[in-house]
Amino acid sequence: MSRYRTIHCRIWNDDKFPFMSDDCQLVFFHLLTTTMSSPFGLFNASVPALAAEKRWDEKRYRKAFAEAFAKGLIKHSEKHLLILIPQFLKYNKPSNPNVLLSWGKIYKELPDCELKFEFNQILMDSIEGYGEAFHKAFAEAFPKGMPKTPVPAPDTVPASGPGQILGKKNKSKTIDETQFEEFWKAYPSRNGKKVGKDATSIRFASLSEKDITSVIIAAKNYALSKNAIDGYAVDPVRFFRSTDHPNGLWREWLEPETPTRQPRVRKGAPGKYERAAVKGDASVSTDPNKYDNVKEFHHESR
């Protein structure tokens, strides 16, 4: 495992870190670099052991640790002796799929709990857009997929005291795997392929029961859209959340596409409408209303 960590200089422009006590800042740096840490920011450690490594008395360490916990820099399950640094992967991402495979060996030995499931989501988000090889490695090294046990509710509140596990606000829910298979079957392929099934299933499992019903409807509507029929569907995992659609692209497809709804224009080279206009090609109309669908226009413009 790597024995160094990346810390961005912008940490001193953060809205929390510069205003914390010196002890809290030092404890945070200690958690980033302790020999008990892992290369991905989730690791087994107890507060007494950390205090001993720092050569501090436990009371002083706990006070600074509690401050870091209260400010959201760290999360902690005292019951499972597990610590998570939520922003760790933002600056320490896996450099290649083999790194993910090596992380998986460490991950599997960590105790199962809500914090571990939360990390799984964070890691999945961090490799979004990294390509099929990364998603395959993720599915192999972190085989969570569709949880067999009840999924913890996403809403959590800090416990009253330092070093305690996050308390749940809502009850757990159980996901029916047949619902996910219905979604997966309905979702359109991209160039004849569907990738990231395990990563997609994790995001599917995090939805509420009401949203699960809605996202299945959205997938069916999206499959009938012009973009999907032409092979331009986004990867399934990005249907739930992406940089362009943080609340989910699926929410835009709760209703079927209508004739007045224009297909999305892809960034890059100009489309056939634009090329026809530039070349002055009279054989191809630049009026999109002339054609009933995109395929008809493509056929005539060849």
Is residue 92 predicted with pLDDT exceeding 50? yes
If one compares 291 and 73, the residue with the highest pLDDT of the two is 73
Question: Taking the CB of residue 237, how many other CB atoms lie within 10 A of it?
Answer: 24
Is residue 30 predicted with pLDDT exceeding 70? yes
Q: Give 139-177 pLDDT, tens digit per residue.
A: 888 875 434 444 444 444 343 343 333 333 444 344 567
Distances (CA, A) of 30 to 33, 36, 42, 66, 228: 5, 10, 14, 14, 49
Q: Give 202-254 pLDDT, tens digit per residue.
A: 778 878 888 888 989 999 999 898 888 888 888 887 788 765 666 778 888 88
* pLDDT at res. 293: 47
Per-residue confidence at 61, pLDDT binned at 50, 70, 90?
very high
Residue 42 · residue 119 · CB < 8 Å: yes
* pLDDT at res. 198: 74
Q: How far apart are CA 204 and CA 52, in angstroms?
A: 42
Is residue 5 predicted with pLDDT exceeding 50? yes
* pLDDT at res. 226: 87
Residue 148 · residue 233 · CB < 8 Å: no
Element (H, E) at 68: helix 58-70
* pLDDT at res. 246: 65
Residue 170's identity, in one-letter code, is: N
* pLDDT at res. 19: 93
Q: Which of 129, 134, 133 is nearest to 234 (CA)?
A: 129
Element (H, E) at 181: helix 177-186
Q: Which of 37, 35, 39, 43 is nearest to 6 (CA)?
A: 39
State the average pLDDT for the chain: 77
Residue 36 · residue 45 · CB < 8 Å: yes
* pLDDT at res. 232: 82
Q: Give 98-152 pLDDT, tens digit per residue.
A: 999 999 999 999 998 888 888 988 898 888 778 888 888 888 888 754 344 444 4
Q: How far apart are CA 274 and CA 57, in angstroms?
A: 70
Distances (CA, A) of 272 to 3, 191, 198, 263, 275: 52, 20, 37, 13, 5
* pLDDT at res. 165: 36
* pLDDT at res. 264: 52
Element (H, E) at 298: helix 294-301
Q: How far apart are CA 203 and CA 79, in angstroms?
A: 26
CA 62: distance to chain centroid? Answer: 31
Residue 122 · residue 87 · CB < 8 Å: no
What DSSP state is assigned to residue 43?
Answer: E
* pLDDT at res. 261: 53
* pLDDT at res. 260: 58
* pLDDT at res. 240: 83
